[in-house]
Amino acid sequence: MSSTSKTGDAGPQDPVAKGLGVFSFALGIPQTLAPGRMTRLIGVRDDARSRMLMRAVGVRELVAGVGIFTDRRPTQWVWARVAGDTMDLALLGSALRNGSKSPARTLAATGAVTGAFAADVVDLVRLRRSSDGNGGGDAQGGPEPPVQVTAALTVRRDRDELYALWRNFESFPDFMIHLEDVRATGEKTSHWKARGPLGMTVEWDAEIIEDVPGERISWRSVEGSKVDNSGSVRFVQAPAGQGTEIHVDMHYSPPAGAVGATIAKIFGEEPAIQLKDDLRRFKQIVETGEVVRSDGSPEGQLGRRQLKQRPAHPLPDDELAAASDAGGNP
């Protein structure tokens, strides 16, 4: 037996999957490089928003194409194509309802996407049957390990005050940019609604499993939730009376597994960065009473409408005095 690997062994063995990979590249390249031309081709109004969506769809196609051609049994990447086709059909349907510039072209594009969706579903069934026939021995067939995200920040307030603010989950959308809504459903239960990459929305229910006032809160999603997640926040006295250190530790399984995690990173929604930005906004609200805004973020106080914020570190007294003197003496 030879252990020499061949270049072709790394790619998909299923010919239909190869064809879908080629299709992803053929579609994704013009969508990414010439989004305006593609929006006009399908009869959609050519504006900044349409181009942004078209480029996002193109990047998604390229990611799927790369995944298909680098995976021997690309089941998860074909799953990504199925999810992407579903979103594309929703976007095209919205364009038709809102008045397409060329309904005939939009209908033709809808038919093409429907055909691609059917091919993706057929190939997905083939791949799943093939995996089952092999006894599920493919490493790609196992469950994806959860993603762990940690972050820490010092806030100039005492532990009890920060604990009380954090315990009010319904205020989280004010500083957590990905959250649409959080609603308490009981003393220790709540319902969450969040935005995912490419405009996806996910909802789940969570419960508090540990609650030590002034020290820590731990939670987890309830069984059967669409997003499996858990986490904890600890409040630790900072050295030299400088406030409180907030330590957040979260574990979650992204929707669509590794595919969903990859898409999230590509579209700037990587969880670790997102959590750090959320904590900065929380610090700003606590220390200044509001999220610091600029001309680039005039939409309001809701976290989901804010651009990434700078840390809210007040100037030391000596620097503040120097800045004041400089302002008064040109």
For the ranges 23-37, 149-163, 244-258, the maximum mean pLDDT occurs at 149-163
- In 70-174, beta strands by DSSP E: 147-155
Is residue 163 domain-shared with residue 70, that is, in the same domain? no
Pairing of strands 244-253, 228-237: antiparallel
* Among candidate residues 134, 158, 176, the one where a domain is terminated: 134
CA distances from 74 to 67, 141, 144, 180, 236 (A): 7, 10, 14, 33, 45
**Please, which pLDDT band fits residue 302 given cuts at 50, 70 and 90?**
very low
Is residue 163 domain-shared with residue 290, that is, in the same domain? yes
Lowest mean pLDDT, pick from 115-119, 149-153, 174-178, 294-298: 294-298
77 located within any domain: yes
Is residue 247 domain-shared with residue 308, that is, in the same domain? yes
Phi, psi of 191 (to 5 degrees): -115, 130
Task: Give me the domain span that covers residue 112.
Answer: 10-134
If you search the block for the tokens 């409408």, which residue do you land on?
A: 305
21 located within any domain: yes
Which is nearest to 24 in space by CA: 66, 71, 70, 76? 66
Higher pLDDT, residue 173 or 96:
173
Q: For the chain, how many structural domains are there in total? A: 2
Cβ atoms of residues 304 and 179 within 8 Å: yes
Is residue 112 domain-shared with residue 171, that is, in the same domain? no
Lowest mean pLDDT, pick from 74-83, 213-222, 298-307: 298-307
pLDDT of 315 > 70? The answer is no
Which is nearest to 113 in space by CA: 98, 92, 94? 92
* Among candidate residues 134, 168, 184, the one where a domain is terminated: 134
Phi, psi of 71 (to 5 degrees): -125, 125
pLDDT of 233 > 60? The answer is yes
Which is nearest to 139 in space by CA: 45, 80, 235, 75? 75
Is residue 265 domain-shared with residue 157, that is, in the same domain? yes
Tokens representing 130 are 């093939």
For the ranges 63-77, 153-167, 272-286, the maximum mean pLDDT occurs at 153-167
36 located within any domain: yes
Mean pLDDT for the stretch of residues 261-267: 48
- As a whole number of angstroms, the longest Cα–Cα distance in the chain is 83
204-224 per-residue burial string, b: 16 or more CB within 10 A, e: under 16: bbbebeeeeeeebbebbbeee
139 located within any domain: no
Is residue 201 domain-shared with residue 258, that is, in the same domain? yes
**Please, which pLDDT band fits residue 166 given cuts at 50, 70 and 90?**
very high
Is residue 39 domain-shared with residue 179, that is, in the same domain? no
Distance between CA 27 and CA 3 in Å, rounded? 37
129 located within any domain: yes
* Among candidate residues 134, 167, 185, the one where a domain is terminated: 134
Helix (H, G, I), strand (E, B) or coil at 216: strand
Is residue 267 domain-shared with residue 158, that is, in the same domain? yes
Q: What is the pLDDT of residues 109-143, one digit of tens each?
A: 888 888 887 887 777 777 766 655 544 444 444 45
325 located within any domain: no
5 located within any domain: no
Q: What angle do CA 99, 299, 313 make, to 5 degrees?
A: 150
Tokens representing 316 are 């030391």
CATH code of residue 178:
3.30.530.20
pLDDT of 17 > 80? The answer is no
313 located within any domain: yes
Higher pLDDT, residue 318 or 285:
285
